[in-house]
Amino acid sequence: MKPLLCLTLIWTFCLVMLGAYVRLSDAGLGCPDWPGCYGQLGAPDEAHEIAQASAQFGGEVEPAKGWKEMIHRYFAGGLGLLVLAVCCLLWQKRRQLSRISIILPLAVIIFQALLGMWTVTMKLMPVIVTAHLLGGMALLALLTWLAARSSSTPQLPSHLRPILIISLIAIVLQIALGGWVSTNYAALACNGFPTCQGSFAAPTGLSEAMQPIRQLGQTAAGESLTIHHLAAIHWLHRLGALLLLACLSALIWQLRKTSPRWAGLIAAALLLQISLGIANVWFDLPLPLAVAHNGGAALLLMLVVAALAQVLPVHQQATNSAFDATSPKHSGA
């Protein structure tokens, strides 16, 4: 069970990174159809295949982008089989896991497949692509929870639960904002750090830029997005980073005495993620750093979810405290 869970978790993390690579290398529409690519199982790369695909679907056929998209789909299919196997085994050997926590990964991966299809059929509509990113992160979080709950006994005190939940909410919001930046191609709209377009104030057009139901590059009214709209999206992501920094700093402060190991891991991941975010702005979004920034967000999410899974239930902590109070070393026996 443990090796399979570990493999599935690593596979999911790699798939999240691969999805980020496909999106950031502008290969999200490398295949204009779904689930195949130009009507076949692989991307067309022979001259006659390219000519046939161009005649049938129109536009320029780019085999390199097509293969990136298809490799991503192959990996997603493999993950579906792994998740099915994990859920079946957990269902047979469930102990402290609820039924809903075992079934949820399957439901998420089915919905992820639909989002993958809609990403193509709706021509990279930002709200769909962002939801696809959040679905991948949700699956990663669920599998992390299952792995943490099934592999060891909870050890962290229950008073940490509120700050862990707040930190988790802050991470999810920041991932959503980061996805909105990426899917709207707004990562380079703020041409400086810490200011955005020479100012700390929000650029104009934030409300229009945050409208969810609109096409890529357009406002809800069908007009083209300007650089100010894109800068507003990026500015909001930076504001979210400050909120996340405050939440995780409070969490690390509370963890430092009860669990220095967890505090150190989360602090290191937070420092890495902040450094990657700044480096992406300074170095004009090189692809390796941009993909690594997605991985840093996934790592922070996994750490906080795993820590939350290790929090003792309130009744169990009360029982442990009562036992400690009556043990010989506390009673003076």
pLDDT by 10s per residue, the chain, length 333? 788 999 999 999 999 999 999 999 999 999 999 999 999 999 999 999 999 999 999 888 999 999 999 999 999 999 999 999 998 888 877 666 778 888 899 999 999 999 999 999 999 999 999 999 999 999 999 999 988 887 777 789 999 999 999 999 999 999 999 999 999 999 999 988 999 989 999 999 999 999 999 999 999 999 999 999 999 999 999 999 999 999 999 999 999 988 999 999 999 999 999 999 999 999 999 999 999 999 999 999 999 999 999 998 865 554 454 444 455 545 444
pLDDT attached to residue 105: 93
Whether the CA torsion 266, 267, 270, 275 is positive or negative: it is: negative
Could you give the CA distance from residue 31 to residue 228 in angstroms, rounded to a whole number? 31
Q: Tell me: the pLDDT tens digits for 53-76?
A: 999 998 889 999 999 999 999 999
Closest CA relative to residue 166, chosen from 275, 308, 314, 309: 308
The model's pTM is 0.91
pLDDT exceeding 70 applies to what percent of the chain? 93
Instruction: Name the percent of the chain in helix, strand, coil, to the closest 5.
Output: 70, 0, 25
pLDDT attached to residue 192: 87
pLDDT attached to residue 208: 94
pLDDT attached to residue 196: 93
Q: CA–CA distance from 183 to each of 32, 38, 158, 177, 327 (Å)?
A: 17, 23, 38, 10, 58
CA atoms within a 13 Å half-sphere pointing along the CA-CB vector of 26: 3
pLDDT attached to residue 91: 83
Q: Tell me: the pLDDT tens digits for 303-315?
A: 999 999 999 886 5
For residue 69, indicate whether it is catalytic. Answer: yes
Query: Exactly one of 49, 69, 208, 223 is catalytic; which is it?
Result: 69
Respond yes or no on whether the N-terminal peptide bond of residue 194 is cis (omega within 30° of 0).
yes
What tokens does 159 get?
């008073």
